[in-house]
Amino acid sequence: GYTETEVVQAVLGETEDKTELIILEQEVSVELEITKVLANIPLFEKSKRIVSHGKGGFSVDLSLVTEDTIFFDHDLKTVEIVIPHAKLLFAEPDFERTEFYDTQKALLAFGDIKLTQEQQNVINLQIAEKMKEELSKSNRLAYADLRAVQQVKAFLKPIVEGVAPEYTLKVVQ
């Protein structure tokens, strides 16, 4: 046999230092309409539309798993581990893939637009903020939570089975 303590210690040994276990990366595209002035910095003669692409990464903090979040059901032979919800860890714009359009919807080459470093920084900041907003929408977070449960179960299943092979692992939030 085994003891609950052995299972708990085996699980905590794997989770205690995993503060940012990346469980999902997702593509994201955002659109920005930029007019003459943004953050008090003159930008363009007319407004421009920018479509920017990138990716976001979601993580789960497994260091929050403690002996108080691990439950045993000896009748059903299950070990249930409660994990925290996934959170957005990063939003990374891929500025190489940014598309600029003029007001007539024509695609402009990056070289057609002359921006100072300050202007470019302001636009990059806006793009990153907009990506964070998009990635933080409830449907994306719900999907990240689903993936968190699946990934953590796949990660911890061999650990639990190694100590208590007759028990089934359940991961919930």
Residues 80-126: tens digit of each pLDDT: 999 999 999 999 999 889 888 876 555 555 555 667 788 788 888 99
The 3-state DSSP class for residue 7 equals helix
- Report yes or no on 17 lying in a domain: yes
- Report yes or no on 147 lying in a domain: yes
- Report yes or no on 173 lying in a domain: no
- Report yes or no on 56 lying in a domain: yes
Tokens of 171: 């991961």
Mean pLDDT of 149-173: 98
pLDDT at 12: 98
Contact (CB, 8 A) for 138 and 10: no
Alpha-carbon distance of 7 to 130, in angstroms, equals 43
- Report yes or no on 54 lying in a domain: yes
- Give the whole-number percent of the chain exceeding pLDDT 90: 71
pLDDT at 46: 63
- Report yes or no on 82 lying in a domain: yes
Does position 14 have pLDDT exceeding 80, yes or no?
Answer: yes
> What confidence category does residue 63 fall into, taking pLDDT thresholds of 50, 70 and 90?
very high
Domain total of the chain: 1
Domain of 39 in residue numbering reads as 4-168
Dihedral, CA of residue 13, residue 159, residue 144 and residue 91, to nearest 10: 50
Alpha-carbon distance of 4 to 20, in angstroms, equals 26
